[in-house]
Amino acid sequence: MESLIDIVLLAFLVGIAFAIVWMKDLLAVIMLLGIYGLLSASFFVAMDAVDVAFTEASVGAGISTLLMLVTIAMTGRSEHPVRHKPFLALAVVIITGSLLIYGTLDMPYFGSAQAPVHQHVAPRYINDSIEEVGVPNIVTSVLASYRAFDTFGEVVVIFTAGMGVLALLSVVRRPKNTTGDKARDIAKIDLINDSMHEQHLVLRIVTKMLIPFIFLYAFYVQFHGDYGPGGGFQAGVIFASAIFLYAMLFGMSTARRVINQSFIQLLAAIGVLLYGSVGVVSLLNGKNFFDYSALSVDPIAGQHLGILLIELGVGCTVASVMVIIFFSFADRKDNGQNLESNGIENNLKENNKK
Amino acid sequence: MLTHLPVLQVIVPLMAAPLCLFLTRSRLVWLFALMVSGLAFLISALLLQQVMTSGIIIYELGGWDAPWGIEYRIDHLNAFLLLIISSVSTVVLLAADTSIQKEIPAEKHSYFYILYLLSLAGMLGIVATGDAFNVFVFLEISSLSAYALIALGKDRRALWAAYQYLIMGTIGATFILIGIGLMYQMTGTLNMHDLSIRLPEVAHTRTVFTAFAFVIVGICLKLALFPLHLWLPNAYAYAPSIVTAFFAATATKVAIYLLIRFTFSVFGLSFSFTALPLHILFLVLGLSGIFAASIAAIYQKNVKHLFAYSSIAQIGYMIVGFSVSTTTGLMATLLHLFNHALMKSALFLALGAVMYRIGSVQLSQFQGLGRQMPITMAAIVIGGLSLIGVPLTVGFVSKWYLILAVIESGWWPVALLILLGSLLAVVYVWRIVEMAYFRPPLTSNENIKEAPFSLLVPIWILVMANIYFGIDTRLSIEVAQAASQSLFGVNP
């Protein structure tokens, strides 16, 4: 039965992969990529890797789909026709693929208890982590304690991505004359709220009701990572997606009033620093970097505290970087379409007068 | 605190990067970044000294012992690389403040330094770690920041160059990741030392062979081995001058380090050179790289392009030394790592000075610069001589050992080809010299003055290093020898 599910899921994956290659409409391609992510997540669940599945669902199916949507909003939705036939690329892909298949021939069978991965390092994680780290979710104890430095690196990767996007896309804000502008901004929000009955009425009201629950769920995922699937990465992404939702339905300028660009940058930095400073504290207490047992008298309590803090750092950085990337993309779009948005604004004003 | 040096080496620049966001003025950020890089240099010097006196240093991160946790394992090879990266980074940063004022818009300066520090930390992390997956994580940090830094170039073509590099670099990193994954599947461990013990048991399997092939191809993409070099010339040519100077001296070196680390330490010498015909493969690719890239360099109109192609040729020399796979051959490769870092950082920084004054590094713009910017041009000439391999410069030392290694193995024709390759270097360096010294200045460039002091000082520090280490070779040779002997399992 289980293999039947696997076969169906994998067949879907292959089918979708081909469809992605063939399709010319980028919007459809992005939707298919989202489905691809969701299917992979389901496949991971079938393989009992729920933590990975959770990440794949929130990142692969969720946030990356959104980011790609913002991108094609700028670039246009159809693919440019390619004149040359990329035979070389095809040859490279075929060679790589056949080498991969060749490599599988001597692999241990999937799920075999005799496989080296289950014999060497894993037994200690499975048998001793509850005594050494004290966290029921083994995946969390591996990634947040045994291999905490890798996770730190991953957080810095995300931070780097955010800084890279800022360095390339950030636009200089024109200095505004503050008082009058502020009044106008508030007026604009009123306008948007008033115009609700015309634009996306249902969506906006449903969003307003949903957002608190999304935030609540993000916090649950953040703090429940020790006990079940979840943790800072997934929580950060979920948190950010609520903000995306708000920005998409209420407009960038409204979202900007809630989230300040330089504040969110600092928040991204603070996440990394919080994570790193846990390590620094253990250094100062005379233990090795990221040795959480130095954080408290009781080593297990120290591990708990350490994991809590670093997961917080992860969530902080991931959420802020996602928002940074989304805002930078969307700002780019706004700048390109200033004329259009002015037009909308005028329309709103006229409506208001009526 | 001395016992924590290995981790501080990486952590200091890594944590300094986000701290930069809290500093408001770009001059302040520069000073901070410079201090951090200087500190990293100091740490690497201390580490090298410790390794030279007391052997391998092991540092267990998180306090977990090795195959379960991640360990840093500093031996002669890592310590040498750490020193190269952090020293070049520091000297190049000295020039950064002046140079980027002309090349990068003011509001982006802090991001520039953040990305620079992240890139530095990424490279140091790759080199310091003893864990195969940790390598990948830090590879991502250094590559992502590299793509962004290159795209910051003033020329719009920088974006396209960075994009190409991004695609090629990502394919390379993915290949390395696939290889690491397959190794993990066959051994159940990610620790390099542990891998080297457990891999021989399963060395005959097709899975391990596949893992090896993926790792090697992935690394070769990263190190721009001919014919996988296509991303490099544009990336170097259109990046900001500071970025080019930094990456030309370090990025490909890190990839060569990975190549050596994976073939010698992880897979083991006997497996590596029998599973794939690496001897002949790398010899042929290295030599064709030397010739193809040197000839391409002769025909370039942009001097940054010219030296970028020359970098590909120099990588060819390192690969030839590697393919000999004797202690002398490897030593020549390591020496050339060090020496080439000195040459190229000096040359690209000097080009940065030209860029600062003229705003372009087209060869035609170099007319008469020998008279207008004599100190900068002298630096380019000495760097060029070093590139050719003239005695009393570092270039001579590494070529000498390379030829020695090749002759030791009885490969006479190869030695001749290497000398021929140096002649090609004479041609492309001469083109610049002729332009700068034997032509009258362009009328449009009449008011060009010598580069500012803040650029000349770092340039000449590097030029003097080129000469100093060409004469007093004790440090570089001693370390390179110790590293290469320890890789071959000979106890010095």
DSSP B140-193: HHHHHHHHHHHHT-SSTHHHHHHHHHHHHHHHHHHHHHHHHHHHHHHHS--BHH
Nearest CA in chain B to A283: B4
Question: What pLDDT is recorded for position B307?
Answer: 94
Inside any domain, residue B457: yes
Chain B contacts of A269, Cβ < 8 Å?
18-19, 21-22
Instruction: Count how many domains chain B has.
Output: 1
Inside any domain, residue B429: yes
How confident is the model over A334-346, as a mean pLDDT? 49
Instruction: Look at residue A346 and tell me whether its pLDDT is greater than 50.
Output: no
Distance from CA of A149 to the nearest CA of B (A): 7
Backbone angles phi, psi at B191, to 5 degrees: -75, 130
As to burial, measured by CB atoms within 10 angstroms (0-12 exposed, 13-18 middle, 19+ buried), residue B364 is exposed
The strand pairing partners of B302, in sequence order, are B362
Instruction: Look at residue B30 and tell me whether its pLDDT is greater than 70.
Output: yes
How confident is the model over B320-331, as a mean pLDDT? 90
Question: What pLDDT is recorded for position B219?
Answer: 94
Residue closest to B42 by CA, chosen among B13, B17, B15: B13
| Angstrom distance (rounded) from CA B52 to CA B74 | 11
User: At how many degrees (to 10) do helices A299-336 and A232-250 cross?
Assistant: 30
* Side-chain half-sphere CA neighbours of B421 within 13 A: 31
Residue closest to B484 by CA, chosen among B192, B297, B264: B264
Cβ burial A260-271 (10 Å sphere, 16+ → b, else e):
ebeebbbbbbbb
CB A231 within 8 A of CB A225: yes
Closest partner residue to A157 (CB to CB) among B69, B144, B208 is B144
Cβ burial A139-164 (10 Å sphere, 16+ → b, else e):
bbbbbbbbbbbbbbbbbbbbbbbbbb
How confident is the model over B42-54, as a mean pLDDT? 92
| Angstrom distance (rounded) from CA B354 to CA B352 | 5
Inside any domain, residue B142: no
CB A225 within 8 A of CB A137: yes
How confident is the model over B206-233, as a mean pLDDT? 91
| Angstrom distance (rounded) from CA A223 to CA A84 | 52
Distance from CA of B38 to the nearest CA of A (A): 20
Inside any domain, residue B154: no
| Angstrom distance (rounded) from CA B377 to CA B372 | 9
Question: What pLDDT is recorded for position A175?
Answer: 47
Nearest CA in chain A to B162: A168
Cβ within 8 Å, pair A102-B206: yes
Most A CBs within 10 Å, among B43, B58, B144, to test the A interface: B144
**B125 Cβ under 8 Å from any chain A Cβ:** yes
Give per-residue pLDDT as tens, A109-143. Answer: 887 888 888 888 888 888 888 888 888 888 888 88
Nearest CA in chain B to A160: B145
Question: What pLDDT is recorded for position A9?
Answer: 93
Cβ within 8 Å, pair B185-A107: yes
Chain B contacts of A103, Cβ < 8 Å?
182, 206-207, 209-211
The residues, ordered by sequence, that sit 6+ positions from B423 with a Cβ below 8 Å of its Cβ are none
Inside any domain, residue B439: yes
| Angstrom distance (rounded) from CA B93 to CA B105 | 17
As to burial, measured by CB atoms within 10 angstroms (0-12 exposed, 13-18 middle, 19+ buried), residue B27 is exposed
Q: Residue B58: which H helix or E strand, with range?
A: strand B57-60
Show the domain range for B472.
Answer: 296-492
Cβ within 8 Å, pair A269-B202: no
A252 or B53: which carries more pLDDT confidence? B53
Distance from CA of B339 to the nearest CA of A (A): 30
Q: Which tokens in the block code for residue A70?
A: 């913002």
Give per-residue pLDDT as tens, B176-185. Answer: 999 999 999 9
How confident is the model over B20-28, as a mean pLDDT? 88
Cβ within 8 Å, pair B210-A100: yes
To which residue do tokens 């249902």 refer? Answer: A202
**What is the amino acid identity at position B467?**
I
**What is the amino acid identity at position B96?**
A
Q: Set out the domains of chain A in order of their start, with CATH numbers.
A: 1-82 (1.20.120.1200), 124-342 (no CATH)
Instruction: State chain A's mean pLDDT as an integer.
Output: 84
Question: What pLDDT is recorded for position B227?
Answer: 85
Give per-residue pLDDT as tens, A164-194. Answer: 999 998 765 554 444 555 566 666 666 655 5
Question: What pLDDT is recorded for position A73?
Answer: 82
To which residue do tokens 């075999």 refer? Answer: A112
**What is the amino acid identity at position A51?**
D
Cβ within 8 Å, pair A288-B67: no
Cβ within 8 Å, pair B61-A290: yes
Inside any domain, residue B124: no
Separation of CA B127 from chain center: 12
Distance from CA of A203 to the nearest CA of B (A): 37
Question: What pLDDT is recorded for position B490?
Answer: 59
Q: What is the ipTM of this complex?
A: 0.94
What 3-state DSSP class applies to B131? strand
Instruction: Look at residue B407 and tell me whether its pLDDT is greater than 50.
Output: yes
Question: What pLDDT is recorded for position A171?
Answer: 66
What 3-state DSSP class applies to A218? helix
Chain A contacts of B112, Cβ < 8 Å?
167
Pairing type for strands B57-60 and B71-74 reads antiparallel
Our separate counts of H helices and E strands in chain A read 16, 0
Give per-residue pLDDT as tens, B427-449. Answer: 999 999 998 998 888 877 778 88
Inside any domain, residue B364: yes
Give per-residue pLDDT as tens, B123-164. Answer: 999 999 999 999 999 999 999 999 999 999 888 899 999 999
Q: Residue A37: which H helix or E strand, with range?
A: helix A26-46
| Angstrom distance (rounded) from CA A171 to CA A321 | 17
The residues, ordered by sequence, that sit 6+ positions from B481 with a Cβ below 8 Å of its Cβ are B327, B331, B492
Inside any domain, residue B325: yes
Is the pTM above the cut of 0.90? Answer: yes
Handedness of CA B272, B275, B280, B281 (dihedral sign): negative
Instruction: Look at residue A345 and tell me whether its pLDDT is greater than 50.
Output: no
**B393 Cβ under 8 Å from any chain A Cβ:** no
Q: How far apart are the first and last CA of chain A?
A: 64
Q: Which tokens in the block code for residue B320?
A: 């030839």
| Angstrom distance (rounded) from CA A31 to CA A319 | 23
